[in-house]
Structure 1
Amino acid sequence: MIPHVDIDEKELLLQLRNGDALAFESLYLRYADKLSAQLFRLLKSWNEVEEALQQLFVKVWENRENIDPGRSFQAYLYKIASNIAVDYYRKLSKDKELSKSLLRQISLLYHPDNLTAQIQADEELMRTIDKLPPQRKAVFKLCKLEGKSYAEVSRILSISEATIGDHIAKANRFIYNNYDKSIFMLSLIYATSLLD
């Protein structure tokens, strides 16, 4: 496997353009979590995020020969993510009733009366994160909550980027399986009740 710290991004992009699967994997590990967070903010569904992330990296692989190593790869990825989100909502908007309902629900998420429910959901998420093993929790908080790169976390914790990727994947699965979604659902039910 490519040592992530020793090869700079420009070199990885050049290797990717030549069809190097290991360079592709390395770039995936660098950006998957940041993109997941961005996609979740746009799509509000982890199931949709997983599908969109896969779609995004398929596009990267299919268009690898056109990638310009001299330009920001992160900006390129975020542009693709944004386009995928726009396409997702465009498909939803074909059903006008669904579109109206979606817009009402999104506006209610920011309604002051819904703030307490959102705070409860956030607190439950933090309690779930606190149940992670200490090293995994440290990795998760540094990457997901503080937005640090795998390289930065690797230096801080003196562990490899591959180990960081493994911790993040396992933390995501644990949180998904152990987060008390009923609190989040209560906030949605409360928001929906405001429509009546």
Structure 2
Amino acid sequence: MMLTRDTAVTEERALIEQLREGEILAFEDLYNKYKRPLSMHILRLVKSQDIAEDILHDLFIKVWHHRSRLNPDRSFKSYLYRIAENLVVDLFRRAALDQKFRNNMIGSMDLNYSHIEESLDIKEKKQLLDQALHLLPPQCRLVFTLCKIEGKTSEEVANQLNVSQHTISNHLAKASKVLRRFLILNMKDTAPYSLIFLISRLLN
């Protein structure tokens, strides 16, 4: 018997309430419900089954550890996808900073995994990312890299570069404008989804 949407929402809300109380069976039910769509979504971004499984594992560990903060009145699905996307962005940031990690990540990618939006190879993706960043003036690119890729605060970057936080904000605003234009142009072409996704999240 198929559940109506209202019934499904009510049952999921009940499971979330139970999860908040530490009920492991509720956790398992929610895991089994969402693991496959989440895994496919993550795989589409990282193109590695092993990496996707690691991220999925980390995701549900976070859900369990922070179960008391769950709000049953908010979309649990949106909550899961937001965590997944944040974990993917963290992965890409680490790869951007760590050559050894990046090589290992590339080595684990399934190059036979195909998707219409994933038609470019890894070398071409890197070239496109470099192309996007090199549209920025040198100082603007440096500020964007420090804040958005290395994850430093505006205050930290201002102190490092000996400029005001207002100057940092101006550089970030300029970078966002240039990179958004890059996204608009490339979403009409063949830029890989994972690259579009990463840049768009860095602009948030």
Larger radius of gyration: 2
Name the TM-score, length of structure 1 as normaliser: 0.47
Name the TM-score, length of structure 2 as normaliser: 0.46
